[in-house]
Structures are given as C-alpha cells and as structure tokens.
Chains A and B, each alone.
Chain A
Amino acid sequence: MATEGNTKLVAIVDDDDLMRGALQGLLKTIGLSARTFASAEEFLDSGDQHQTGCLIADIRMPGISGLDLQAKLNAERCRIPTIFITAHGDEKMRMQALRAGAVEFLTKPFDDNALLGIVRAALES
C-alpha cells in the first residue's frame, strides 16, 4: 500500500448510526480509521473534505442528499473518489452518480470484500 494513501482520510457520511458504526468497524479490519458524519452538512462544515482520500456516502439523507453532496464537492473542485451505498438505487441514479465521478455504487447489504477492495484502490490512486 502506498504511504501517501495511508495519510489520507476515509470519510463516512450516513444518517443511520448503525450503518456508520458498521462501516467504521469494517474499515478497521484492514487497519483504516475512518471519520463518520451524520449528514452531508456536517461533513462540509468539518473542513475534512480536503484531506479525504475516499468518501463513502449514503444517497438518501435528510437535508443534502448524497448526490447533491457530490455535486457540491465537484463545484468546490474537491473531487474525492466516492463510493455510494444505497438501499435501492435505480439505474438512473446509478448512472448519474457514476457520471459525476463516483467510483462505485453499491446496494445494501453489500459485499464487504468488494467495498474494501474499492476503498484500497481509491486510496492508492
């Protein structure tokens, strides 16, 4: 693993506390510590977006949705490799996310190996 990758932060944005805890726990198994945020607003206000090497975000959230968050980050010229995890994303949503630069679009419940592989790849890129 590239050293540069390890210094970069993984951020989790999900309004569900159980999901945040589960994702954080999963990343810990490969030695990554992640910061969690309960909303897109919280993430944008934190200023952490500039150090974030990989963003894992839910699509449906109260307030700013995952897709809107991605658009806002793009507008700030802050292109973070983003993995969307959603309960039932349709194809349209998926295409929109991927076109806007998302690296992956996973459906809950997702495959843990797949997610970890993508996170690793995102941090190394």
Chain B
Amino acid sequence: MKVLSNLQRYGLALISSGLALVLAWPIDAPSSCFLLAVTVSSLFGGLGPGLLSVALSALSFEYFFLWRTFPPTHETAGFLRFLVFVIATLLITALMEIKRRVEESRTRAQEALRLAQSDLAHVNRVTTMGELTASLAHEVNQPIAAAVTDANTCLRWLTRDQPDLEEAREAASRTVKDATRAAEIVSRIRLTFTKSTPQRELVDVNEIIREMIVLLRNEASRCSISVRTELVPHLPRVIGDRVQLQQVMMNLMINAIDAMKNVEGTRELVIKSQRAEDEQLVLAVSDTGVGLPPQQADQIFNAFFTTKRHGTGMGLRISRSIVESHGGRLWAAENSPRGASFYLTLPTKLEAHE
C-alpha cells in the first residue's frame, strides 16, 4: 500500500468527514455516511485520522442530526442513538488498527525470514567456497603462471643482440590476456562471496552455468572428471537472483564431483539446459558417481541430511528453497547406467512471487 504523509492522512479524515456531512444532509442518512467516512479514514489513514474522523462525525451528528429527528422529549432515546453511533465508529477504527498491526507484523516476519534465508545461503556459499580454496587458488595461479612465462618470453625477445619487437609485442599482448583472465576469475570469486539482499534481474542461465564451470573446472580435473555441456542457445532469460542461482548450480556441481571422486570408470559431469512446457526452462546436472543413497533418496533434500564426511547437510536444502523462491522445482533421479541426475525448472515469466 502506498505510504501517505501525515498531512495527507489527516487531510483525508477532514475531507471524508466533511463530504459525509454534505452527503448526509440531503439524503438524511447520517449514520451510514459518517460510518463510511470513519471507515475510509481509519483504513487509509490509520489510528489518528480514524479517531479524528470519529470526533468530527460525532460532533456533526450531534449538532446537525440528532435533535432534528429526536425532539428533546425523547432525550434518552436520542442519547442512546448517539452512544451506539459513537461505539460503532470507535469499533471500526479499532478494527482497522488491529488489521494494520497484524499485517505489519506479518510483513516483518516475512522480511525476517527472507533475511534469515539469505544469511543461511551466504554461510553455505562461504563454506562451499572455503572448501574450494585450493582449487580457486589454482584457478588464479594458472593465468598468473602463464603471465610470468609470457613476460619472460617478452624480455628474451627484447634483450637479444638483435631485439625482435614483433615477437616481443606478441608476448606482451599474451601477458595482457593472461592478467585479464586472472582478474576476471578474482572478480567472479568476489561476486560469489558478496553478501547482498536478493535481487530480481534478468538472468541468462547458460551464462551462469559457464561461469560456475570456470570456477569448478580445476576441482573437476583434479579428480579426473571431464565436464560436458549441452546448452540450448538463446534461451529466454529468467527473472531471479544471479548469486543465488549460481549457488544452486555450484552446490549441484560440487555434489556431482564429490559423488565421482572415488568411483572407477568414466567420470563425467554433464550439464544441460533446455526449454520445457509452460514457458519453463529445465536444467539438468548429471554425474556418473555413486548415485543417490538407497532407501533414502527422498531424504536428500532434508536439512542436515548428508552422506559426506564433512558435509553440513544444508546444500540441497538451501538449493531447493532458492529454486522454489524463484517459482521453480528441484528434484533428483537415478542416472543411467550409473550416478545421479538433478533437475531444476525455472519459469521464464515470473508472476509476482514472494
């Protein structure tokens, strides 16, 4: 609801009471008209304007109408009628105030819940990234090592007896590329760590998948896992929080990598994106790992359920709540012939969803 200024709120009470008086006079229906004015004032103005409207209505009612219909001989009846009128208007004001407070506390509770979820998601992100420190350091070290080599090469061409400027220039421009890559990776890591309130923006899921692969590429190759993508190009974008969606992809991909660490045979992580019915996108993360825990497949999304030695049991729980807050679904299935697949849907047209 739009927030009105104090002046507007009390102005509303004055105007509505005034209008009620003007309207009530010709049609001789004071109670209904003043009740309406009080309702409007307390509904849109709050307690203060509501009470002001009650006072104005009671005065007008008493001064202009009460004794016109009730001559002084019926003093008791007139007084009762006035009393009923005042009680009715006060009750309406009180009801409106209660309604407002209930709504306010519900909004506050929702806000607190949203903040708690976002804090939890942040903790999960930091924990996950913490586990990846070695890999991320390697990911940054890789382009830096290339930069050192390219810079050395550049020096070699320049310090020859016959400097080769063309070769030196090439080596220097390779150095620039290397350093740019290192900076990109650092900024990606920083973005993933950043804690912010959930945003709603247009997000390209294929881009998110590619970004997470860059961060996890090393972790995968350390475990001799090949990463393959089947991404349908030009997918419609989804409305959502980029960092949170990255987090879901990261959780699913890390789970897949962990599931394959100790299996013999093919170790392949496959990530697919495609369109589905009802303007939805489906993303799938499949591995050839140990598969879902038997007899407990439905529990993997529960809080504190984990099969990992150092797992928190929160990754899939948080992932599911993120996907659901985006109006989508997240579920798991066995992969054939081996391993597990995680599927998630995301709507490309998001209705007002809280």
Which residues of A pack against B, CB within 8 Å?
15-16, 18-19, 21-23, 25-26, 28-29, 60-65, 68, 87-88, 108-110, 112
Contact = CB atoms under 8 A, between A and B. Distances in A.
B224 A25 contact: no
Contact of B142 (A16, A26, A65, A68): A16
Nearest to B142: A16
A109 B148 contact: yes
Contacts of A63: 224, 226
Interface stretch (B25-33, B215-223, B245-253, B334-342): B215-223
A112 B181 contact: no
Interface string B154-190: 0011000000000100110010011001000000000
Nearest to A111: B152
A22 B218 contact: no
B14 interface: no
A18 B142 contact: yes
B224 A109 contact: no
A61 B222 CA distance: 7
A87 B146 contact: no
Contact of A28 (B167, B177, B178): B167
Contacts of A62: 217, 220-221, 224-227
Contacts of B225: 62
Contacts of A110: 145, 149
Contacts of B171: 25
Contacts of A15: 221
**A-B complex: 4 closest residue pairs judged by Cβ atoms:** A108-B145, A109-B148, A22-B149, A18-B146
A11 B138 CA distance: 23
A81 B148 CA distance: 24
B142 A108 contact: yes
Contact of A29 (B147, B157, B226): B157
Contacts of B145: 19, 22, 87, 108-110
A22 B141 contact: no
Contact of A87 (B138, B147, B167, B178): B138
Given A60-B222, A108-B145, 8 more contacts: A22-B146, A29-B153, A60-B221, A62-B227, A63-B226, A87-B142, A88-B134, A112-B149
A65 B224 contact: yes
From A61, A62, A64, residue with most partner B Cβ within 10 Å = A62
A88 B146 contact: no
Interface of B: 134, 138, 141-150, 152-153, 156-157, 167, 170-171, 174, 177-178, 181, 217-218, 220-222, 224-227
15 contacts: A18-B177, A19-B149, A23-B149, A25-B150, A25-B170, A26-B150, A26-B153, A26-B156, A60-B221, A60-B222, A62-B217, A88-B134, A88-B138, A88-B141, A112-B152
Contacts of B227: 62
B144 A109 contact: yes
Contact of B156 (A61, A64, A112): A112
A26 B152 contact: yes
B169 to A, nearest CB: 12
Given A18-B178, A25-B153, A29-B157, A60 B218 contact: yes
B142 A19 contact: yes
A112 B144 CA distance: 14
Contacts of B148: 109
Contacts of A18: 142-143, 146, 174, 177-178, 181
A65 B225 CA distance: 10
A22 B222 contact: no
Contacts of B177: 18
B149 A16 contact: no
Contacts of A21: 146, 150, 174
A62 B266 CA distance: 11
Given A25-B150, A109-B148, A112-B149, A61 B142 contact: no
